[in-house]
Amino acid sequence: MTNNPSYEMTADYISRVKALRKKGATYLVLTFGCQQNEADSEKIRGMCEAMGYSPAKEGDSCELVIVNTCAIRAHAEMKALSVIGNFKSQKLNNPDMIVGVVGCMAAESEVAAKIKRSFRFVDFTAEPASIHRIPELIYTAMTQRERSFILGSESCEIVEDIPVVRQSTYRAWVSVMYGCNNFCSYCIVPYVRGRERSRDSAAIISECRELIASGVKEITLLGQNVNSYKSDINFAQLITKIAELKGDFILRFMTSHPKDTSDELIEAIRLSGGKISPHFHLPLQSGSDTVLRRMNRTYSIERFMNIVDKLRESIPDIAISTDIIVGFPGESEQDFEKTLVALSKVRFDMVYAFIYSERAGTRSAGWEDDVPKNVKTERIERLLKLQGEISPERNERFIGEVQRVLVESFDESENTYVGRSPHNKQVRFTAEKAEIGKFIDVRIDSARITCLVGTAK
Ligand code: 5AD
Ligand code: SF4
């Protein structure tokens, strides 16, 4: 059974738009932000093509533009607004062009109001939970010349069967759950993506089975908080079932929350014998218990260290990456130094560090953003300098080993192939011949901060 009553409505509007749109009409989808948005954009492209639009190249004029936005930090919003603004003149030249703004920014009431007021050339906005309504919004724009703004639906419905146009033939995103219930005090995600809801396991497993049969070699399961996946089975059981599917592929997943990283999940990775990537992305955010408490992260640094220890006891060579926010309201020099101590102790393979950005509507937006800008910049530089010493050390452990690499591209400037190792490390390697989208064994000869360097065997 799928919890999917409403694709029929989407399908109905898809055929109505298809009957109306101009012959030879083209579309453009621009994407900002995380992998979740990349995955959503593949569905948006799928619907565009089902409506009969064909892809336009960036910069070409087209009949339909959809900008899929990100709201996680102010910088991402500014970038998206400037890109949206660029379509004003195109719309003046071509009044029939339809412009839609979707994604996380479209779910913020202030942003939606601003677009309504000041971006009058935008025909519709739709929040992430409503992307299946895009064909309906295009139909309304075409037939009634009316602007639509879908906001606050917080739809808990999961619409299965939306057509997908994937960007890659050998790598695929598969969403397993949507939304977030954690309400970390700095984070806009629970407000713009709504409450947690999980897809049926049968739908996920059959999507993975089809992908593997079509030649996909890397599947990444996506969710804001994958390990709180809840259906007839839990996340550990889900990844075990997918890993047992027949075929030559690697399974990845992101993102995990420390609060529900279970022993069962760690065991599932270990028992998969390499089928599930030995890489765990585990956002720490801060090394200070005081800051973690105010961030509403619900774990202490001690508990985090215990999880890291368990991961390494069970899977000794596991790669662990993390997210850190510097300059959270009230973060003192001592708090920040605790984050540096945590990085030195844990020795993450990779750290994604962000400067705190106040997001309207979140709890921390009510607190003074009191760490001066220059202190924030200085802290992130100190943090990156420290991690710059740790990452190469974490990469050097692979020197002399043979890694099974999925080939992604060829870099003409360096005359090397570029691929990804099971531990999610970028590998740059020389080979007489390597095939994009296939696995190849590479001997690792040296390591840099951000990648491994090797030679095909
Ligand atoms: N400011 C800075 N970084 C943030 N993140 C989430 N919200 C904010 C914010 N308001 C970071 C967290 C999260 C990652 C995806 O983005 O580190 O794990
Ligand atoms: Fe945001 Fe926290 Fe949810 Fe991650 S777990 S999306 S940081 S609220």
Residues 209-252: tens digit of each pLDDT: 999 999 999 999 999 999 999 999 999 999 999 999 999 999 99
CA proximity to 41, closest of 49, 78, 265, 286: 49
- Cα-to-centroid distance, 189 and ligand 2 (Å): 6
Residues 43-60: tens digit of each pLDDT: 999 999 999 999 998 778
- Cα-to-centroid distance, 109 and ligand 1 (Å): 20
Query: Is the CB of residue 69 less than 8 Å from the CB of residue 104?
Result: yes
Query: Is the CB of residue 251 less than 8 Å from the CB of residue 219?
Result: yes
Q: Please enumerate in sequence order all residues whose Cβ is within 8 A of that of 176, keeping only pairs 6 or more positions apart, or say none.
A: 198, 199, 204, 221, 222, 223, 226, 229, 235, 238, 253
pLDDT of residue 260: 85
pLDDT of residue 356: 98
Q: How confident is the model at residue 4 (pLDDT cuts 50, 70, 90)?
A: low
Residue 1 has pLDDT above 80, yes or no: no
* Contact residues of ligand 2, CB 6 A cut-off: 180, 182-184, 187, 189-190, 224-225, 257
User: Three-state DSSP class for 176?
Assistant: coil
Q: What is the mean pLDDT of the segment spanning 372-387?
A: 98
The per-residue b/e assignment along 403-416, b for 16 or more CB within 10 angstroms, e otherwise, is bebbbbeeeeeeeb
Lowest mean pLDDT across 145-154, 198-207, 286-295, 296-305: 145-154
Q: What is the mean pLDDT of the segment spanning 360-373?
A: 97
Residue 153 has pLDDT above 70, yes or no: no
Q: What is the mean pLDDT of the segment spanning 179-201?
A: 95
Q: How confident is the model at residue 309 (pLDDT cuts 50, 70, 90)?
A: very high
Residue 303 has pLDDT above 50, yes or no: yes
Q: What is the mean pLDDT of the segment spanning 397-403?
A: 97
- Cα-to-centroid distance, 325 and ligand 1 (Å): 6
The values of phi and psi at residue 428, to 5°, are -105, 125
Q: How confident is the model at residue 133 (pLDDT cuts 50, 70, 90)?
A: very high
pTM recorded for the entire structure: 0.95
- Cα-to-centroid distance, 62 and ligand 1 (Å): 34
Ligand 2 atom nearest residue 255's Cα: 4
Answer positive or negative: Cα dihedral of 279, 282, 286, 290.
Answer: negative
Task: Tell whether ligand 1 has an atom less than 6 A from the beta carbon of residue 354.
Answer: yes
Secondary element (H or E) of residue 36: helix 35-50
Q: Please, where are the H alpha helices in 101-200?
A: 109-118, 134-144, 189-193
Percentage with pLDDT > 70 across the chain: 98
Q: Please enumerate in sequence order all residues whose Cβ is within 8 A of that of 194, keeping only pairs 6 or more positions apart, or say none.
A: 128, 129, 154, 155, 156, 178, 179
Our measurement of the distance from residue 119's CA atom to the centroid of its chain's CA atoms, rounded to an integer in Å, reads 27
Residue 5 has pLDDT above 60, yes or no: no
Q: What is the CA angle 102-103-108, rounded to 5?
A: 95
Q: How confident is the model at residue 145 (pLDDT cuts 50, 70, 90)?
A: confident
Strand partners, 148: 124
Q: How confident is the model at residue 150 (pLDDT cuts 50, 70, 90)?
A: confident
**Average per-residue pLDDT for the chain:** 95
Nearest CA to ligand 2 atom 1: 187
Half-sphere exposure of 412 (CA within 13 A, CB side): 0
Residue 402 has pLDDT above 50, yes or no: yes
pLDDT of residue 438: 98
Lowest mean pLDDT across 60-64, 305-309, 436-440: 60-64
Residue 148 has pLDDT above 60, yes or no: yes
Strand partners, 410: 417
